[in-house]
Structure formats: C-alpha cells, structure tokens
Amino acid sequence: MPRALTDALDTSTRHAPDPHAHPAAVRLAPVFDAERLRAELEILTGDSWRRQRAYSEAGASDEHPADWRVLALRSPGGDPARTDAGGPGPLPYRDTPWLERAPYFAEILASLPPGLRAARLMSLGVGASVETHRDTPLGFTKGTVRLHIPVTTNEGAVLVLDGEACRWQPGTFWYGDFSRPHSVANHGEYARVHLVLDHAVSPALFGLFPPGFAEEVGLANVLFERPEVPLGPVERATFACGFTVPADFRHWWGEALDETADGPGDTEAAVVPRPDGLFLTEAEAEADVGEGDVGEGDVGEGDGRRRDGPGIGLVHVGGGEFRLQGWTQERTLHLDRAARTVRFTVRDGSSRRTCEHPMTPKV
C-alpha cells in the first residue's frame, strides 16, 4: 500500500540550529562597477521585458499585476521568455541570448562558484509595490539561496526584509533570506533594477560571505549541492520502471515539511531512458512519447504551462539516487533495482521525511 512521506527524524535532529539565527541580509565580498552595470542595462532596456511570474508544480503563474518586469539572463534551457526562477523540469539552466549582449554581466556570472541557477534582471516600476510574501523553498536548509546585485535604485525604493528596511546601493552584492516575510515598493522617480541570482549552496559559495558566517549558520544543517554522477546509456536503461509518486512529494513550493496543500493526489509515473538522460513522466505521457521524442512538459506560454520537454529530468548524484532537474537535494528519489523499491526523500537541512513504494521494472 503506498504511504505518505513520514517523519524519519530521531529526537536529536529536532534540535538542529535555527535556520533564522543568522541575519536576514548579509553584504558579500565582491564589489562591482556601478557605471558598467548601468551602461549594460541601457543596452538591454529597449528589449522586451516581461512581467514577473512565479513557479509552482502547476507551472508558471499568471503575470504579476504590478509593474514588475523581468529579463532573464539565465533560465531553464536558456529560454529568454522565462521570467520565473524555474523549478523541476526537463532542461538544465543555461545562459539566454540576452547575456551575449551584456559582457560585464556575463563576466560577473562567470566569476561565481559553480551552481548558478537562474539569473534575472528584475525591474520594479515607478509607483509599483509587491505585498509581503515569502519566496519558497529557499535558504541554506533547502539548498538554494537568492543573491542581489542592485543596478539602479533611488531613495524612494525600499525592500523591507523581516521587518528591516534595506536600501542596497548599485554595485554592492547581497545575500537575503527571502524565505522570511518581505515586501518591496518603489515610490521614487525611476525604476529600481536588481540582478537577482539563485545559487545552489556549496562550500565555495561561503567564500563570498564574511568570516565566521558559516559557523553562524551551522554547517551541519546546510543542504549542500551534490555533483552529478553521469550514467551511460546502457546503465540508464536499467533504471526504466514504473511506480506511484506520493502527492506530497510533488508539493514543490511548500514553506515547511509538514505543510499540506490542495493539489494532485498520488500519481502513476514512469522513469524513461532517452538519449539525453532519464526522465520522470506521468504514466499516460510515457505511453505516448517514444525514444528520442519530445512530449509535453510542465509549464506554457499563454495558459501558464510550457511545453518544453518530456517530463522532469533526473540527475544522478550517486548510488542510484536522483535529484530533479532544476532542483536541489531538497527532494530526491532512490531507485533500488535489487529490492524493486523507490524511496522518496524530502529534506530540510539535516531533517528528512521518507517513504518507500514498490516499483515495476520495464525491460
């Protein structure tokens, strides 16, 4: 009988370090040339900036009603039309064509440690505001952090992060814990533009932070990125199987491990080997998509869903364990071919929830 994800903690892990013990905002070491940032922004301002969209397991949301526009420099598949930060999908993050026109922005991105995911120029127009919200799942315990480089701002533009007013200046570099409540408003005379970066957490990333910050966070409770361990086509084929995915494993955007939400129930799924990797598909979609074909993905233009590939890519991180393409180790599945089981794991720092379902090999 399929089971929901269960708490796999002992009492000691319930007393892990508080993920909010560190400051909500921390200035990072690099300083960038504000004039060069503004000059390259001028090159890109004539292009088609789209209104911001959020991302969930249902795909990209409707456009944000405020004058909050985005130009993607790095996105899933390098799609220049994407304004969301991405999520589980078929394609890895790649540079968009806009980055070719902005060599200084490209230089900045190349200077960062490996693990950069989305990179977006985000513009908040005059008179626009975004109400208090949380960006989830983000943070050191989730495996992804959000960084900001202000490009243009003014005295009337303010970010309120966890109750603290922040007016970051152009050329500075900031970490913000945007899993905490925050809002932003622009009451100035011109747009506020930030380069917003989503980055996987790694030991090298902590080199950008002030000395002692890593100890303040508590490294034992940090979810570090694990590198991909590539599989060849012959070995990939041995993982072809079918199983039931529990509903709460698909709840990508939950703010806490114990949060529940309305959404799809348990789903029949299949792992399908293709020339470019392994993919997790709904069983019905798998039946319609042949080797090398491209079926419908999770996200699109117009209706908020995008048809850009065959389900969700699986990235092997070793020992038959896979994370979701476009995601971190916050959520993995372990395919045990000998026991014919699949173990689903959802992590929050050092804590985790797991469950096992039977799987049916497909030869």
pLDDT value of residue 179: 93
- Residue 255: the pLDDT is 37
Name the residue among 333, 334, 342, 345 with its Cα closest to residue 360.
Answer: 342
**In this structure, which amino acid lies at residue 96?**
T
Confidence (pTM) = 0.85
d(CA 121, CA 134): 19
- Predicted local confidence at residue 4, as pLDDT: 59
The CA–CA distances, whole Å, from 336 to 162, 248, 276, 314 equal 43, 21, 22, 15
First to last CA, the chain: 24
What span, in angstroms and rounded, lies between the C-alpha atoms of 67 and 52? 9
Q: Look at residue 15 in the predicted model and tell me its pLDDT.
A: 46
Which pLDDT belongs to residue 78?
A: 97
pLDDT at position 294 is 34
Q: For residues 362 and 347, is the Cβ–Cβ distance under 8 A? A: no
Task: Report the pLDDT value the prediction gives residue 67, as an integer from 0 to 100.
Answer: 82
Task: Name 200's bridge partners.
Answer: 144
* CA dist list (Å): 38 to 148, 270, 306: 15, 48, 32
CB atoms within 10 A of CB 188: 17
Q: Which two tokens stand for residue 203?
A: 């030991």
Cα separation, 363 vs 334, in Å, equals 19
What local confidence, expressed as pLDDT, does residue 307 receive?
36
- Listing DSSP states for 199-260 in one string gives EE--TTGGGGSPTTHHHHH-GGG-----------HHHHHTT-EEEEEPGGGG-TT-SSTT--
Tell me how far the alpha carbon of residue 238 is from its chain's centroid. Answer: 29
Tens of pLDDT along the chain (363 residues)? 445 566 543 333 444 456 567 899 999 999 999 999 999 999 998 767 876 666 555 555 565 556 889 999 999 999 999 998 998 999 999 999 999 999 999 999 999 999 999 999 999 999 999 999 998 889 999 999 999 999 999 999 999 999 999 999 999 999 999 999 999 999 999 999 999 999 999 999 999 999 999 999 999 999 999 999 999 999 999 999 999 999 889 876 543 333 444 556 789 999 999 999 999 998 754 444 343 333 333 333 333 333 344 799 999 999 999 999 999 999 999 999 999 999 999 999 999 999 999 999 997
